Amino acid sequence: MKFTHLLIIGYVLLMSFAYFYINSVLKDGSIKVTTKQKDSVDEVKKVDVKLLLKTTSGTREYKSKLENIDTVRDFLDSLQNAGGFTYERTFYADKTVINEVNGLTPYNNYTWKLTLDDKDLTSTIDKTTLKDNAIYMLSLVP
């Protein structure tokens, strides 16, 4: 009987604490919500972009026409949707890794690297917008 009274008192205290804690959290309530916007562009226009895929068996070229507000990831996805090009990627908190391209996986400590004018874009394909007449290079590098 004494144990039951202690349980009831403990339960009431726990519920009281939970009630006041939840009320205090809800009073703070103003959570700032921000939306991520793409890089500002003066005007939306069509861009011609090209991808050169360099492998041990040679170089293959892919072309597409998108808009300057699209990202490099959008470009790669459009090539994949058109057929003839496939890729798999993994997103980590600090980087993006391209795991496979057209069924080819990196070997012996090689990795897939996507570049534009010798600048590595692999980790920023979601943020980098397309440039007109740009030639992106996707190759295996040590």
Residue pLDDT, tens place only, 87-98: 898 888 888 888
- Give residue-wise pLDDT tens across range 46-60: 889 999 988 888 888
Q: What is the CATH number of the domain that holds 92?
A: 2.170.130.30
- Looking at the structure, tell me whether residues 24 and 90 fall in a common domain: no
- Looking at the structure, tell me whether residues 19 and 86 fall in a common domain: no
Q: Which of 54, 140, 58 is nearest to 99 (CA)?
A: 140
- Looking at the structure, tell me whether residues 124 and 95 fall in a common domain: yes
Q: What is the span of the domain harbouring residue 26?
A: 1-31
What is the C-alpha separation between 100 and 137, in angstroms, rounded?
15
Q: Which of 117, 138, 140, 126 is nearest to 52 (CA)?
A: 138
Handedness of CA 60, 61, 67, 68 (dihedral sign): positive
* The pLDDT value given to residue 12: 93
pTM for the predicted model, two decimal places: 0.66
